[in-house]
């Protein structure tokens, strides 16, 4: 059987040719008759992002910047948050984790998300420590890294200079879709489902008792979080380009 790859399906291997393990894996997937080109491309990009994100730990600048963002997350969580009830809190500390996910990817996002939750608890403990919240914070960082890492955000120069412009010139709709998907998945999976389950374990009441309250709060906050995330990551891109890429 001829296992030579068609030319069109070889083309995207240039993105991962420098990563031997991924090259071998994707090459084997391409040779499978049941695997479509789109599935393999998606898999290769996903694995590439994980590999590149893991390499961020080798860069001192990345570690220092991530540590500063973890510190920022802690400050926002401790001083810029509102505890409505023991089981319900409003905070914008997730924006620091979004920045980590955008700059350093899913692996660093996962680690820093969990670390930030532990540091936050050490500085301002609220009841007994529960590892479920650390897992939720780490998963949120992972989600942000998966959706935001290495994505190309188009920032209109007119937006920066303050000139008159139309809405279509300002908004990067492709990136906005990424933000909506990431925040929606984080809200429903991590905050609502997992968060409600952790509350039912910690406080002894049924799952449905907390579900309605947490779902309503997160549903109201979701559009605000999407707006904040889109604009904050746009600012982070500008700063990141000037400091790290000298653009």
Which of 51-55, 164-168, 177-181 ranks highest by mean pLDDT? 177-181
Whole-number Å distance between alpha carbons of 131 and 142: 17
List, for residues 17-69, the tens digit of each pLDDT value: 444 444 444 455 445 545 566 666 666 777 788 888 888 898 898 899 999 99
Determine whether 247 is exposed, middle or buried from the number of CB atoms within 10 Å of its CB (0-12, 13-18, 19+): exposed
Same domain, 115 and 63: yes
Same domain, 150 and 204: yes
Q: Which has more pLDDT, 159 or 80? A: 80
- How many domains does the structure of the chain reveal? 2
Whole-number Å distance between alpha carbons of 221 and 113: 20
Same domain, 108 and 177: yes
Two structure tokens written together for 85: 């009830």
In a domain, 2, yes or no: no
Q: pLDDT band at 83, cuts 50/70/90?
A: low
CATH number at 114 reads 1.10.1760.20
Q: Which has more pLDDT, 39 or 152? A: 152
In a domain, 182, yes or no: yes
Last-in-domain residue among 50, 67, 85? 50
Same domain, 118 and 43: no
CB 113 within 8 A of CB 141: yes
pLDDT of residue 84: 61
pLDDT of residue 185: 95
Q: Which has more pLDDT, 220 or 6? A: 220
Whole-number Å distance between alpha carbons of 125 and 115: 14
Two structure tokens written together for 194: 């997992």
pLDDT of residue 48: 80
**For range 128-153, the mean pLDDT:** 90
Same domain, 32 and 73: no
Same domain, 94 and 170: yes
Residue 82: beta bridge partners? 90
What's the pTM value of the predicted model, to 2 decimals? 0.75
Q: Is residue 135 predicted with pLDDT exceeding 80?
A: yes
In a domain, 1, yes or no: no
Same domain, 17 and 115: no
Same domain, 188 and 66: yes
Q: State the residue range of the domain holding 21.
A: 7-50
Dihedrals φ, ψ of 192, to 5°?
A: -80, -60
In a domain, 30, yes or no: yes
CA–CA distances in Å: residue 115 to residues 72, 128, 210, 217: 12, 17, 26, 25
Same domain, 160 and 213: yes
Same domain, 38 and 69: no
CB 234 within 8 A of CB 153: yes
Same domain, 40 and 95: no
Same domain, 35 and 69: no
Q: Is residue 247 predicted with pLDDT exceeding 50?
A: no
């Amino acid at each position: 059987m001829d296992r030579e790859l068609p030319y069109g399906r070889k083309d995207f291997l240039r993105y991962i040719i420098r990563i031997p393990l991924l090259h071998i894996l994707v090459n084997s997937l391409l040779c499978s008759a049941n695997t479509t080109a789109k599935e393999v491309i998606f898999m290769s990009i996903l694995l590439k992002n994980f590999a590149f994100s893991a390499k961020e730990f080798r860069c001192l600048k990345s570690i220092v910047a991530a540590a500063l963002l973890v510190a920022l997350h802690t400050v926002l969580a401790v001083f810029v948050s509102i505890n409505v009830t023991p089981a319900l809190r409003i905070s914008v500390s997730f924006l620091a984790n979004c920045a980590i996910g955008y700059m350093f990817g899913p692996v660093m996002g996962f680690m820093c998300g969990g670390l930030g939750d532990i540091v936050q608890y050490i500085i301002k403990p609220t009841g007994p420590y529960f590892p479920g919240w650390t897992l939720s914070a780490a998963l949120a960082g992972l989600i942000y890294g998966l959706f935001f890492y290495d994505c190309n955000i188009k920032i209109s120069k007119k937006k920066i200079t303050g000139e008159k412009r139309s809405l279509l010139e300002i908004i990067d709709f492709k990136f906005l879709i990424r933000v909506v998907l990431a925040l929606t998945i984080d809200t429903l999976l991590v905050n609502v489902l997992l968060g409600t389950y952790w509350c039912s374990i910690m406080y002894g009441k049924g799952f449905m008792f907390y579900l309605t309250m947490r779902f309503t709060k997160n549903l109201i906050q979701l559009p605000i979080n999407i707006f904040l995330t889109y604009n904050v990551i746009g600012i982070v891109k500008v700063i990141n380009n000037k400091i790290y890429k000298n653009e």
